[in-house]
Amino acid sequence: MSSLEQMLPMELWSGRLFTGQWISSGANRPVFEPATGCELGSVAMADAQVVCESVKIAKVAQDSWYQLPYEKRAEILRKAFTIGETFREEIVYWIVRESGSTRAKAEFELSVSLKSLQEAAALPARSQGEVLPARAGRLSIARRRPLGVVGVISPFNFPLYLAMRAVAPALAVGNSVVLKPDPRTAVCGGLIIARLFELAGLPSGVLHVLPGEGDAGAALVSAPEVAMIQFTGSTAAGRKVGEAAGKHLKKVSLELGGKNSLIILDDADIDIAVANAVWGSYLHQGQICMATGRILVQRGIYDQFLTRLVKKAKTMQVGDPSKENVELGPIINQQQIDNIKRIVRSAVEAGAKLEVGGGHENLFFEATVLSNVSNSNPAFKEEIFGPVAVVIPFDKDDDACILANDTEYGLSAGVITSNVGRAMKIADCINSGILHINDQTVNDEVVNPFGGTGASGNGSSVGGASNWEEYTQWQWLTVQSEAPLYPL
């Protein structure tokens, strides 16, 4: 806590929003620790009026930020990375305490967040366009220009990374950013980012961090000063954001939910297959859009696989990740607990077998395994966002494709096998934005384009080479020595 208070002292952020300055707000919300229910502090909440004022400031600040030498923008991003490295323990502390992450998950989240800063720092020095064919005496250029103000609406589950992966590249290419983090994780998903960039020397007004409820998000989407919305969250909320953004003719990137399949072929090593299924299903209590929502196991090894998975689930420790070395921490809140219980109960009523788990104490939900799940079962169709492994047998390789594609989502998929050629044939039939052969469904390495299809998003991608595409727009520029004399 001593070094944490050097970076983000409570008297700095408690009851305050970040607009380049730390400003007081009339409305505050307690920050609760899911594992204990203890209050960790109090964050200020922005309303629609505050958002409208901030986007105007961000609009003014954006031009001078873009006009800075590209080396200066890169230098600020590198400084933010260095500060993040310096305060690793303090940032991990907040991710664990505020989001209910295990320490291993929090450390991984911080590492990819810092990597996104490194990658973004390289963007300003890259080629920003191309020279197009033109007649003699005329120069024709396609160049990338920043959009202006980018609004980012980020979720609770990977709060630091899912905000940083948008904030860092958007800033790097010359935009200003207004970030609305989920108020349940406003410190690790927002205020830490504000402090990193403040200490790195980002000019005032270029980044705003405004925790808020739905009215704040709606104001951000509708504000005429905002050119783009990058939204990560549920499909239901994403549909509303997409509809509102379309009404205002804004560019919009929607990274939404998933019902992701891990296909395990009968030539797979069963121990490796179980390890992959456990990681994909139970990491961060299953509260990940890429979580393995269905484990499709070829019938020849189905019984062995199920037996070993159930055995592993029975041994998984659930508890307070800030005090114990546990594999499962708490679910984010009671509303999500109730939703997990509803789906598990409905699944059993529809014929599924509850092999293990299904119970909870406070916000701690047991590692759960469901078998005998048909394609009409709620557990087959719905994104659970909890520690529930859904195991489904299949016969032929083609059947695995049919089952994997039987969903409105199209985010991630994985195939475990000893025959890569066989897996490649299956890969060609899978409808998903992300596909891993011999790995489970939860992967992100920052340098890769990340995005889904169908109800998992609008086909856009963030990360890697796609960041230039997402956070800039093309401008066609021609130059010639004198204007032509047209005949009309």
Per-residue pLDDT of 247-287, as tens digits, reads: 999 999 999 999 999 999 999 999 999 999 999 999 999 99
Give the start-end residues of each E strand in 181-250: 207-209, 226-232
Percent of the chain with pLDDT over 90: 97
pLDDT confidence tier of residue 2, bands split at 50, 70 and 90: very low
Closest CA to 383 of 332, 331, 456: 456
Cα distance between residue 305 and residue 291, in whole Å? 19
The per-residue pLDDT for range 172-182, each reduced to its tens digit, is 999 999 999 99
Most confident of 204-208, 461-465, 466-470: 204-208
DSSP code of residue 328:
B
Confidence of residue 5 (pLDDT cuts 50, 70, 90): low
Greater pLDDT, 460 or 190: 190
Give the closest residue to 457 by CA, choosing from 168, 233, 151: 233
CB 28 within 8 A of CB 46: no
* Residue 429: active-site member: no
pLDDT at residue number 26: 77
Confidence of residue 6 (pLDDT cuts 50, 70, 90): confident
Q: Quote the Cα angle for 32-321-307, to 5°.
A: 125
Rounded CA-CA distance 111/481 in Å is 51
Q: Which residues contact 16 (CB under 8 A, 6 or more apart)?
A: 22, 23, 24, 25, 44
For residue 4, name the pLDDT band (cuts at 50, 70, 90).
very low
Tell me the mean pLDDT in the region 310-324: 96
Q: Which residues contact 401 (CB under 8 A, 6 or more apart)?
A: 426, 429, 430
pLDDT bracket for residue 3 (50, 70, 90): very low
Report how far residue 242's alpha carbon sits from residue 366's, in angstroms, rounded to the nearest whole number: 35
Pairing of strands 453-454, 409-410: antiparallel
**Averaged pLDDT, 75-80:** 98
Average pLDDT of the residues in 92-104: 97
Q: Which of 255, 366, 382, 470 is catalytic?
A: 255
Question: What pLDDT is attached to residue 331?
Answer: 98
Which residues 6+ apart lie within 8 Å of 311 measured at CB?
none
Q: Which of 289, 327, 366, 401 is catalytic?
A: 289
| pLDDT for residue 1 is more than 50 | no
pLDDT band at residue 459, thresholds of 50, 70 and 90?
A: confident
Active site residue 289: yes
- Mean of the per-residue pLDDT values for the chain? 96
pLDDT in tens, 338-360: 999 999 999 999 999 999 999 99
pLDDT at position 409 is: 98
Cα 471 to Cα 478: distance, rounded to the nearest angstrom: 23
Which residue type is seen at 230?
Q
In percent, how much of the chain has pLDDT > 70? Answer: 99
Residue 437 has pLDDT above 70, yes or no: yes
